[in-house]
Amino acid sequence: MSDFSRDELLDLAAAYALGATSPSETAAIEASLPTMPDLAAEISAYTDVTVTLAQQQAMAPSPDVRAAFLDGVGASKRRSPTRTPAIAARSRWPLALVSVGLAASLVVAVRYASQVSRLEGDVAARERALAGASAEAEKRHHQLNLILEGEKDLVVVHLKAADTTAGPGVQLFWNQKQRLAIGHAFRLKPAPTGRAYQVWFVVSGKPFGVKVFNSDPDGHALFEDFALPAVPDGVTEVLVTEEPSTGSPQPTSAPFMGGRVSAN
Amino acid sequence: MPDVALRPARNDSELVSAMAAGDERAAAAFYDRHASTAMAIAFRLLRERVDAEAVVLEAFMQTWRDAARFDASRGSAVGWLLTITRTRALDHLRASGRESRRTATSLDDVASDQLAAPERSGHPGYDTEQAEQRRAVASAMRTLPDKQRVVIELAYFAGLSQSEIAERLAEPLGTIKTRVRLAMMRLRDALRPFAAESGS
């Protein structure tokens, strides 16, 4: 049940289209969209405004982006080659069923159509699962390479909480040469609603936020895309605090986990 | 090159439906039609061309992967794309810890320097329409009271939420919400003819 009244949701439509609603407002609106066509229409009208605003500043990306996009599209099709045939089959089957229906009965045809529809749904679900697994495998491959190729430039930092036995921890793999890092959190329960965890590098006693993340319900998290310093020297310690979900420019709570960075 | 030839043939929703069916040409057409707009959104928030291009690529890949989930009854395809782009850009800002440095710039600033005017499509009618639309937007923004224009700029061009705007301007949240709503209503009325065209 939404905490927002119908009128409140309609009042939020403009802000939602602007992307200016809070997480709770956004969630309430999205939960209500299927049952409030007038809300959907309002948002659609305001979204058209934001699109028109954006179109005033059109700025072409480099041709490489287009090439990369089409490469990605082609690669995903190769990984999921049944996608197009499945659609083709969808368009042929109903015709076949009409013929069967002439000879048999409409009831039978409807039953077959239902089965076909269900089978197509199964195929689509398997395709999505396969695409997801392929993407996950690619990601893991990339992460493994990041670690293996680090060699002497790889720094591993073990972050521990007060309870070093049963408490949470983070393993940080930092490839200093390539300025890339991967963090693996474990036994770390998800941050409360509206909150997240933030990783800090301590340089000359001052903390610099390098990553905001949250853990999965099973207490694990694998995260990358750190904002790493150009020069790795001088980072003496890595800390983790709980912060607002958007992160914070400075720590607003005491670190509950940390680890020292050993010089190579 | 903008996909002018396809504009009357397949609207955005049809392109996304074709993408859901695995049509690479539809993906290319959708990209050609909207990449520059998505890039504008990403660049406006990130201020780094390389980062913005990465976000644009991610956003289009997501539209390709999720094309089957797109529901035209909930809004336009380009609105969907730009929402994804904006979300990805904000995620990128947060991940890089640069979020606190977000500032807004106005459309007037945009027209001048690094954001060149939109490329010409080679289609005189389309270019004229775009020029007319730009004038209408600039005019609509100028007619907004200053306080309303500021909240739109902070929300849309700097990516701040209403709460963040209230905090930054040291004004009550309710006041900011009212300004956002009134400003958007004015813009909606002023831009209605153009919005209808872009929402195909």
CATH of B1-102, one of 3.40.50.2300, 1.10.1740.10, 3.40.640.10, 3.40.50.2000: 1.10.1740.10
Average pLDDT over every residue of A177-181: 81
Quickly state the pLDDT bin for A118 (edges 50, 70, 90). low
> How far is the C-alpha of B73 from the C-alpha of A41, rounded, in Å?
8
- Token reading at A150: 């680090």
Could B155 and A20 be called an inter-chain contact, meaning their C-beta atoms sit closer than 8 Å?
yes
- Domain boundary (A146, A178, A196) is at A146
Phi/psi region, residue B85 (left: phi>0; alpha: psi -120 to 50; beta: rest), is alpha
Within-domain flag for A118: yes
Same domain, residue pair A157 and A136? no
Could B198 and A52 be called an inter-chain contact, meaning their C-beta atoms sit closer than 8 Å?
yes
Same domain, residue pair A162 and A255? yes
Q: Residue A196, exposed/middle/buried by CB under 10 A (0-12, 13-18, 19+)? A: buried
Q: What is the pLDDT of residue A93?
A: 36
Same domain, residue pair A169 and A241? yes
Same domain, residue pair A182 and A162? yes
A15 in Cβ contact with A26 (< 8 Å): no
- Residue among A40, A226, A246 whose CB faces B94 most closely: A246
- Domain boundary (A123, A146, A169) is at A146
Same domain, residue pair A160 and A129? no
Average pLDDT over every residue of A144-167: 81
pLDDT above 90: residue B176? yes
Segment A63-98, tens digit of pLDDT: 989 999 998 898 887 766 544 433 333 333 343 333
Could A48 and B27 be called an inter-chain contact, meaning their C-beta atoms sit closer than 8 Å?
no
Provide the mean pLDDT of chain B: 79
- Residue among A11, A52, A61 whose CB faces B133 most closely: A52
Task: Give per-residue burial for B20-55: e unless 16+ CB within 10 Å, then b.
Answer: bbbbbebbbbbbbbbbbbbbbbbbbbbbeeebbbbb
Within-domain flag for A71: no
> How far is the C-alpha of A245 from the C-alpha of A193, rounded, in Å?
8
Could B195 and A18 be called an inter-chain contact, meaning their C-beta atoms sit closer than 8 Å?
no
Q: Which residues pair with A182 in a beta bridge?
A: A173
Percent of chain B surpassing pLDDT 90? 40
Q: What is the dihedral of CA A54, A55, A60, A66, to 10 degrees?
A: 90
Same domain, residue pair A135 and A205? no
Same domain, residue pair A166 and A139? no
Q: How many residues does chain A have?
A: 264
**First CA to last CA across chain A, in angstroms?**
55
Which residues of A are less than 8 Å from B196 in CB distance? 48
Q: How many CB atoms lie within 10 A of CB A255?
A: 18
Same domain, residue pair A165 and A138? no
Could A49 and B118 be called an inter-chain contact, meaning their C-beta atoms sit closer than 8 Å?
no
| Helix A106-148, helix A63-79: angle, nearest 10 | 120
A49 in Cβ contact with B195 (< 8 Å): yes
A168 in Cβ contact with A186 (< 8 Å): yes
- Domain boundary (A108, A128, A146) is at A146
Q: Residue A38, exposed/middle/buried by CB under 10 A (0-12, 13-18, 19+)? A: exposed
Chain A nearest C-alpha distance from B85 (Å):
11
- Judged by average pLDDT, the poorest of A109-118, B48-57, B157-166 is A109-118
Same domain, residue pair A232 and A182? yes
Q: How many alpha carbons lie under 13 Å from residue A29 in its C-beta half-sphere? A: 27
Could A19 and B74 be called an inter-chain contact, meaning their C-beta atoms sit closer than 8 Å?
no
Residue A56 DSSP SS3: coil
Could A19 and B155 be called an inter-chain contact, meaning their C-beta atoms sit closer than 8 Å?
yes
Helices (H), strands (E): how many in chain B? 9, 0
Say how many domains are in chain A: 3
Nearest to residue A201, comparing CAs of A186, A179, A222, A219?
Answer: A179
CATH architecture for the domain at B103-200: Orthogonal Bundle (1.10)
> How far is the C-alpha of A225 from the C-alpha of A202, rounded, in Å?
18
Domain with A22, as residue range(s), is 6-55
Quickly state the pLDDT bin for A186 (edges 50, 70, 90). very high
Q: Which residues pair with A171 in a beta bridge?
A: A158, A184
Q: What is the pLDDT of residue B192?
A: 79
Instruction: Check CB contact of B74 with chain A, cutoff 8 Å.
Output: yes
ipTM over 0.85: no
| Domain edges within chain B | 1-102, 103-200
Could A247 and B94 be called an inter-chain contact, meaning their C-beta atoms sit closer than 8 Å?
yes
Could A57 and B40 be called an inter-chain contact, meaning their C-beta atoms sit closer than 8 Å?
yes
Which residues of A are less than 8 Å from B177 in CB distance? 11-12, 15
- Token reading at A227: 């904002």
Same domain, residue pair A166 and A230? yes
Within-domain flag for A112: yes
> How far is the C-alpha of B14 from the C-alpha of A3, rounded, in Å?
36
Within-domain flag for A67: no
Same domain, residue pair A36 and A108? no
Same domain, residue pair A85 and A133? yes
Q: How many alpha carbons lie under 13 Å from residue B81 in its C-beta half-sphere? A: 34
B104 in Cβ contact with B150 (< 8 Å): yes
Residue A245 DSSP SS3: coil
B56 in Cβ contact with B38 (< 8 Å): yes
- Token reading at A29: 């609106």
Chain B nearest C-alpha distance from A105 (Å):
31
Find the residue in A nearest to B183 (Cα): A14
A161 in Cβ contact with A146 (< 8 Å): no
Which residues of A are less than 8 Å from B39 in CB distance? 58-61
- Residue among B95, B116, B183 whose CB faces A227 most closely: B95
